[in-house]
Structure 1
Amino acid sequence: MPSPFKTLLLTLPVLVLLPACNLFDTSDAEGTRGRGARAFDPYASSASGAISLSLLSFKGCAILPNGEPVTKGGLTLPDYPNECLNLNLGFPIAAPALPPTARMKVTPGQAYFLREFSAVDMLQNVHTDYNDRRTPAAWARLQSNFKDLDWSGLSVGQDDWKVQDPGTLQRETFYENAAWMTSTTDTLLLEVLDSDGNVRTSETYKRTDFLSESSSTGRTRVSFTVTGLAPPRFPDDPIPVLSGERDAIVYASTVKVSFANSTNPFKSFTMPQLQGEGLIRVTWSLMPKKPFLFPVSFVPASERPATCFEVGADGLATDVPVPCGFGLSQKVVMTPPRNGQYLEPGEALDFVVSLQDGDGHSLHARESLPSFKEYMEGDSNGLAHFNSFMLVNWRDGSASESGYKVVGPLQDLVVVNGSHTPPYFAFPQAVEPEYFVPPSSTYLPGGSLHRPNTRITVPLPSDAKPGTYALLVKGHRDFMGERLNRMDPFFFQVGQAERTTYPGKIGNCQVCHNGPNSLNNVHHGGSVDNVEACKVCHYDEGVGHVSDFMHRIHVNSRKYQQNKGDCTLCHLTRESALRPSLIACAGCHPGTHGNEYKHLEFQDLSAVPNIYGNCANACHVTSPPREHVLPKR
């Protein structure tokens, strides 16, 4: 009996939008002006020329992207802690610091470039006065691991509320304008040392070599956070209200410095031909006396165990083991519809995921993905699962959200405002993807042993609208120092063979995001051709509303030098720019209306009007904002 897995890879061409102006033509291919990742593609494994290196540090200890602290092994490092906090032991981290055991492995002789440097210092449940914003700031300036920075000019900035979990809110007060935050001339000196402390190679990176290097993106942040809250009784309520979903309120004072997404990946270095232990040392010019230390183990490519698998003609793993390579490529094998052309309403989408390295080797067995336990213990060939403690302790949700989402039809995808129920088909219906390992799993060491099945079935509703649907697959991998994110769309037809496209309301991202700055190489790793797919997850404050953070990032970015009031660069239609709301406008105009409508932020999403509501219908119906340039159509 033939295997049901022996089906063809769906190879629908990428759907594109064709704005009238040739300058903004998004139909160009990779490697041309509009995309430009082909000349240097960090996802291309050994063929890319260099491998992206990610260096993470938590309270002075190097950590892996799964949150496990790295041991210094047999190295003599007086300035490296003998004991480290483990981010995966709770929120707040209640366990004491212990000797770390994880190792960070790199490949000698391999060319690398520094794609990310991130370091965090944090205190949890130490500053517990809900109304005191001075003490956390004083700790950051005078006592934190970053006390040697120039903190002159520090001020209290945005006071942000967002949904943390259902029924639970988080309030975060940001501190802004410190001199080090606005610096543009500082550098990072990366050195690789052998076990005797001799520098074997080095490279210097400018801060401006990184796309995300200021606090405008939210990666770098200094803040005081209170988690576990219910909505306040009134704006500026001085008494915290405990959420019924939490046992206690958690207070956190955080300094996070994060430079990410290299704009110059050609500035690479060759990892020295060493064996055993060594050290990567990063010296920030603004903290020259306190370098950041990253103990590493040199593992030659010839010594990698054969833990990956060859891929067969059907695109899926065979039983033939092979050593893993760098990179991440996501493949999907879909079972053909019964009529051979498209799925009928009520029929089920049946597919198999195949996550591979850049050389085409499967990172997992044919019928199952690695378990969470294997991921946490470094036995998943780099595949990452959802890790809530990296989200709440490291303040980074992009490192471990592997999963999928099915949405459609494409022409009906709109920004969701004021509702948890999108007006199009979505599985899952909630904002988050369907994780391969769900957040409810046990995350402590020795936890989940479940290996997710690679074959997945998603039933379509009996009234599914006809058109092109998208299966969005998010993947994350960290391997031999490389850390990658991918978001790949795979299209299929429902109810008709004729293809449909996205609404075409926003676009032109490739005008700035091209070459190494291509959206393929930023954050989730989604292509510019599918930028309208961002809205299917980002429509509430829990994950960040797209109309909020997209404005906030670009308006505050010093790399975005266009006229901030010219909406025509990104908005392709007049209608898409004429739905002002508090959450959309606050990205550029924080504090608008003061506390007059603050209560709307805490209303149920079904309430109208609310923070996502259409202010144009409520008050601003007479004319569009005069200070903005809007599309004519």
Structure 2
Amino acid sequence: MKPPFKRLFLSLLVLAHAAGCNLLDTSDAEGTRGRGARAFDPYASSASGAISLTLLSFKGCAILPNGSPVTKGNLALPEYPATCHDLTAGYPLSPDRAEPTARMTVTAGELYFLREFSVMDAVSGEHTDYTDRRKAAAWASRVSDFKDLDWSGLTIGQDDWRQMDLGAFRRETFYENAAWMLSTDDTLTLDVLDADGNVRVSQTYLRTDFLSESSSAGRTRVSFTVGSIARPTFPGDPVAVPAYEGEDINYTSAVKVSFANSTNPFKSFAMPALNGEGVIRVTWSLLPKKPFLFPVTFVPKRELPSTCFELGADGLPTDVPTTCGFGLTQKLQLARPQNGNYHQPGESVDFVVSLQDGDGHALHPRDSMPSYADYMYSGTSNGLAYFNSYMLVNWRDSSTSESGFKVVGPLQDLKVVNGAHTPPYFAYPEASEPAYYVHPAAPFRPGGADHRPPTRYSVKLPENAKPGTYAILLKGHRDFMGERLSRMDPFFFQVGQTQPTTYPGRIGNCQVCHNGANSLSNVHHGVSVDHVETCKTCHHDESVGHVSDFMHKIHMNSRKYAQNKGDCTLCHLTRESTLRPSLIACAGCHPGTHGDEYKDLEFEPLSSPTSIYGNCANACHVTTPPAEHVLPAR
């Protein structure tokens, strides 16, 4: 008889051959257990086992991802508000409410799982004493929709100052340590009800089933925000001065509870095979008497309209209509360079963007994308979402905005930008934001909301463009039948040579924690772990978050980050990448470093050598790195 280990080995070989894959191949490639989720990707829309579902609510009213409040239609829901706030009506949020008209649709019979549950209450202009941070806390714990939570232990946390524009700042005071914030055993029970109020399906999720919940990741937060103020004249300055003459200071108090990115997508449920109206009810165990209601319209798949387009042999849309599916796939076709091999400095890079669903159907015609009005007002964009400034500032969520592109390179020169508006590599646009398909100001210009963005673009390379591999980064967002997705995909081309070049390789190893359902391609912007070094090409100033600040904050404040938080070697692959201390880089892990001694540097202009981006090693930290940090070897 063969030894047991030999029998097991032979059995694995037979199984591998029968399955048509190599079960013994443990190489660390994208999609394997070590890195991504390609073997089973629960966020692959119709190609996966279930569709991810996002549920959003503001002041008791369900909202669509574009901020429009959802009507209860003909349902008898006395507990659902008759009037709601429209988050896209302006900022600061107006106290006016109106009868909602938007509808949230889901596909009847489809298998879903809860990916995100985000609910919020906020008031603007009610707490206007700049120095009194107690009133906002009292409102949150005694008046807000979340007053029945356990607020014991609440403390005033960090003051986060952020420069939003030239001379204009935002101060956000966070509140921390309430019992409900620290809870780990609470649950969310999701029930799907028919029009008569009968429960047709039910599923229960643990709070620990969700990866993202902290304010550092833009999720659960209780805060008092003062916006559009000038720099204080000294630390602790009790007087707030408007940043711009004639403009008012904005005051907002908010409570937001947000659990996102399910770590257990196997907890799926079949949307009932109904037609017409119904309700998704979510009961949070910490608020058992106040369930959150999300009126929905069930649409059978056979009744979905044919508003997408078939693709032609060239991979571009035809005029043949077809039914849209779930998902978002971004494709790009590059025109051949003039010499047929690579682009030369000074040459234009021409390309065509094609946005598709996960089934290979075009979401727009060949030569144009839907207008802003199609997305925002009529719901006829096939789910494509554009930059939404009011949703960004009112809902405090950037994951459904900034659809567009950016061209950067060469890859080997991509580095963190500290204290400069112009990066030390080619970037179009140079600013942190991408080139939007719909410019943020377009909806407010005459006819701008009806303009249909083109699909063809041209970017001129500089005359002194360095040789190497360049990238066109496409950033897209889609909201379709309850599914909300973000994607960021790179497409590469050569400049000055045929030999490819690669990223600097200064940071990485994200796959140690971000694998399977929680691979980076499934969280926030949806960029693959292989291209994590592209994050720095947008996140290089405070207005959008500096990469060295928020990356440290997210992981240092996460209860799920179980690694030694002083071990820099997990993410930093080179010693050089750890040896540029600055106030913004260090404060991500060490808020309040040096107290108020260098507080004034927060308000220095971006390009000032003594700003928060300045290199502290040039002044003091020049001899040895902090002893409590574990750094890569020399």
Q: Tell me which interval the TM-score lies in, with the shorter structure as reference length.
A: over 0.9
Q: Distance in 2 between matches of 1:497 and 1:28?
A: 27
The residue number in structure 2 matching 1:477 is 478
Aligned with 1:448: secondary structure?
helix
The residue number in structure 2 matching 1:110 is 110
Q: Distance in 1 between matches of 2:567 and 2:237?
A: 37
CA contact (8 A) 1:203 1:269 kept: yes
The residue number in structure 2 matching 1:62 is 62
- Quick one: structure 1 residues 88 and 41, their matched pair in 2 at CA, closer, same or farther if it must change by over 3 Å? same
The residue number in structure 2 matching 1:250 is 250
Moved more, 281-290 or 230-239: 230-239
Aligned with 2:501: secondary structure?
coil
The residue number in structure 2 matching 1:338 is 338
Matches within 5 A, 1:220-239: 220-239=220-239
Per-residue deviation, residues 321-355 of structure 1 (Å, max 9, x unmatched):
00100000000011010111111000011001000
The residue number in structure 1 matching 2:146 is 146
Q: Distance in 2 between matches of 1:165 and 1:618?
A: 28
Moved more, 405-414 or 40-49: 40-49
Deviation (angstroms), 1:486? 0.2
Per-residue deviation, residues 475-532 of structure 1 (Å, max 9, x unmatched):
0000000000000000110111100000000000001100001000000000000000
Deviation (angstroms), 1:605? 1.4
Per-residue deviation, residues 65-88 of structure 1 (Å, max 9, x unmatched):
011000000001111100001011
The residue number in structure 2 matching 1:404 is 405
Amino acid at match of 1:229: I
Amino acid at match of 1:398: S
Matches within 5 A, 1:78-157: 78-94=78-94, 96-157=96-157
CA contact (8 A) 2:216 2:550 kept: no
Aligned with 2:442: secondary structure?
coil
Per-residue deviation, residues 408-447 of structure 1 (Å, max 9, x unmatched):
0000001000111100000000001111001112269996
Moved more, 230-239 or 288-297: 230-239
The residue number in structure 2 matching 1:175 is 175
The residue number in structure 2 matching 1:597 is 598
The yes-or-no answer on 1:189 pairing with 2:198 is no
Deviation (angstroms), 1:43? 4.3
Q: Distance in 1 between matches of 2:125 and 2:475?
A: 34
Q: Distance in 1 between matches of 2:262 and 2:445?
A: 33
Deviation (angstroms), 1:26? 12
The yes-or-no answer on 1:526 pairing with 2:527 is yes
CA contact (8 A) 1:89 1:444 kept: no
CA contact (8 A) 1:565 1:629 kept: yes
Q: Distance in 2 between matches of 1:218 and 1:513?
A: 18
Q: Distance in 1 between matches of 2:442 and 2:168?
A: 20
Amino acid at match of 2:294: F
The residue number in structure 1 matching 2:456 is 455
Q: Distance in 2 between matches of 1:616 and 1:630?
A: 16
The residue number in structure 2 matching 1:162 is 162
Q: Distance in 1 between matches of 2:88 and 2:186?
A: 33
Q: Distance in 2 between matches of 1:445 and 1:325?
A: 33
Matches within 5 A, 1:185-584: 185-244=185-244, 247-376=247-376, 377-442=378-443, 448-584=449-585
CA contact (8 A) 2:224 2:254 kept: yes
Per-residue deviation, residues 65-120 of structure 1 (Å, max 9, x unmatched):
01100000000111110000101111012361000000000011100000000001
- Quick one: structure 1 residues 113 and 537, their matched pair in 2 at CA, closer, same or farther if it must change by over 3 Å? same
Q: Distance in 2 between matches of 1:211 and 1:405?
A: 28
Amino acid at match of 1:487: M
Deviation (angstroms), 1:47? 1.7
The residue number in structure 2 matching 1:9 is none
Amino acid at match of 1:372: Y
Aligned with 2:108: secondary structure?
coil
The residue number in structure 1 matching 2:16 is none
Q: Distance in 2 between matches of 1:531 and 1:136?
A: 38
Amino acid at match of 2:265: P
C-alpha RMSD of matched pairs (Å): 1.5
Amino acid at match of 1:612: Y
CA contact (8 A) 1:211 1:517 kept: yes
The yes-or-no answer on 1:631 pairing with 2:632 is yes
Q: Distance in 2 between matches of 1:170 and 1:368?
A: 37
CA contact (8 A) 2:36 2:521 kept: no
Q: Distance in 2 between matches of 1:438 and 1:375?
A: 14
CA contact (8 A) 1:409 1:469 kept: yes
The yes-or-no answer on 1:610 pairing with 2:607 is no
Deviation (angstroms), 1:218? 3.2
Amino acid at match of 1:513: H
Amino acid at match of 2:149: L
Amino acid at match of 1:503: P
Per-residue deviation, residues 234-254 of structure 1 (Å, max 9, x unmatched):
221111111127721110000
The residue number in structure 1 matching 2:622 is 621
Q: Distance in 2 between matches of 1:569 and 1:168?
A: 36
Amino acid at match of 1:495: G
Deviation (angstroms), 1:606? 1.4
CA contact (8 A) 1:228 1:246 kept: no
- Quick one: structure 1 residues 67 and 113, their matched pair in 2 at CA, closer, same or farther if it must change by over 3 Å? same
Deviation (angstroms), 1:609? 2.4
Corresponding residue pairs, total: 609
Aligned with 1:534: secondary structure?
helix
CA contact (8 A) 2:604 2:610 kept: no
Gaps of 5+ in 2: 1-24
- Runs of at least 4 residues off by over 4 Å: 443-447
Amino acid at match of 1:511: V
Per-residue deviation, residues 355-386 of structure 1 (Å, max 9, x unmatched):
00000000001000110000012110000000
- Quick one: structure 1 residues 291 and 443, their matched pair in 2 at CA, closer, same or farther if it must change by over 3 Å? farther
Amino acid at match of 1:174: F
Aligned with 1:239: secondary structure?
coil
TM-score by length of 2: 0.94
- Quick one: structure 1 residues 42 and 390, their matched pair in 2 at CA, closer, same or farther if it must change by over 3 Å? farther
CA contact (8 A) 1:373 1:446 kept: no
Aligned with 1:442: secondary structure?
helix
CA contact (8 A) 1:182 1:214 kept: no
Q: Distance in 1 between matches of 2:444 and 2:586?
A: 38
Q: Distance in 2 between matches of 1:176 and 1:239?
A: 25
Deviation (angstroms), 1:457? 0.6
CA contact (8 A) 1:91 1:393 kept: yes
CA contact (8 A) 1:486 1:520 kept: yes
TM-score by length of 1: 0.94
Deviation (angstroms), 1:29? 3.0
Q: Distance in 1 between matches of 2:621 and 2:246?
A: 39
Deviation (angstroms), 1:265? 0.8
Moved more, 31-40 or 53-62: 31-40
Amino acid at match of 2:212: S
CA contact (8 A) 1:69 1:100 kept: yes
Q: Distance in 2 between matches of 1:432 and 1:253?
A: 27
Amino acid at match of 1:63: I
Q: Distance in 1 between matches of 2:624 and 2:159?
A: 30
